[in-house]
Structure 1
């Protein structure tokens, strides 16, 4: 192997990001917003703290992004009824439309990624990727327990 596997993963991620960013730019979506939109879509009423934990970023970073997304009409924030210190985050109709767009775009990028692969090769690739993820998760857990 001339290039490391890790370098190939980095290249794939970078190319996928460039393709996604190019499309997002056309629709006025900031590159950091898709992961946040997807978390809110999956967990309507999620807290800012939970978003920060999911994305492994500081709550202040999330606050800035949420403000930008709120101004763009993608999300709305409501104070928690039981704990006034918490704000819950919900998608607006526009946010839901953006999520649908993102899902479709990601599906089309995935189609490009596996173009020319047989079903057996796709299954094998998915199996390899699951194993890589498990290896990394085990490593992370191992380091946390040291």
Structure 2
């Protein structure tokens, strides 16, 4: 019976997460398109905002992408003037990726586009204590699936946003 219940719960969770992801992704796609970006490019700008000067491997871990995907994205975004690469001073095999002023300006623009997100409106209408209670199991589940490093990045970047409250300065590694 436990196996049957676990399969039923797996089915429910996979479909609920898919529905949630699809709804959020639709909003992300629309907002990114208004800036001439893909959702992945928009996400990359944010990863670098919190970790400017990251390596391709670090970006792939934080963005939850394959390294080859990051390499291709960085190449395209470098050609459009949003990013630039510098060879690491301690290891010539490593390249560090940075936002250009144009990339930072575009990232800042995406920060103000909260009207594009249905989830933002839901969060604004929901009691803070209720939200904290609902988010805790999600954090625990993501920690078990994606690992501590990823969850720590999410929590640290969230705290950075809270602490900076309107300040738009880059935080480097």
Bin for the TM-score computed over the shorter chain: 0.7 to 0.9
Could you state the TM-score of these two structures normalised by the residue count of structure 2? 0.67
* CA 1:81–1:60: 2 relative to 1, 3 Å: same
* CA 1:40–1:116: 2 relative to 1, 3 Å: closer
Aligned-partner SS, 2:97: strand
Q: 2:55 aligns with which of 20, 26, 47?
A: 47
The equivalent residue for 2:108 is 100
Q: Distance in 1 between matches of 2:14 and 2:131?
A: 15
Aligned-partner SS, 2:86: strand
* CA 1:115–1:46: 2 relative to 1, 3 Å: closer
Could you state the TM-score of these two structures normalised by the residue count of structure 1? 0.78
| 1:17 paired to 2:25 | yes
Higher RCO (CA 8 Å, separation ≥ 6 residues): 2
- Superposition deviation, residue 103 in structure 1: 2.1
Q: Distance in 2 between matches of 1:68 and 1:140?
A: 27
- Superposition deviation, residue 132 in structure 1: 2.3
- Superposition deviation, residue 16 in structure 1: 1.7
Q: Distance in 2 between matches of 1:139 and 1:29?
A: 28
Q: CA RMSD in A?
A: 2.4
Q: 2:89 aligns with which of 61, 64, 81?
A: 81
Where do 4+ consecutive residues of structure 1 move more than 3 Å? Answer: 3-6, 138-141
- Superposition deviation, residue 57 in structure 1: 2.5
Q: Distance in 1 between matches of 2:42 and 2:87?
A: 23
Structure 2 unaligned segments of length 5 or more: list them: 1-10, 148-173
Structure 1 unaligned segments of length 5 or more: list them: 142-146
* Number of residue equivalences: 136
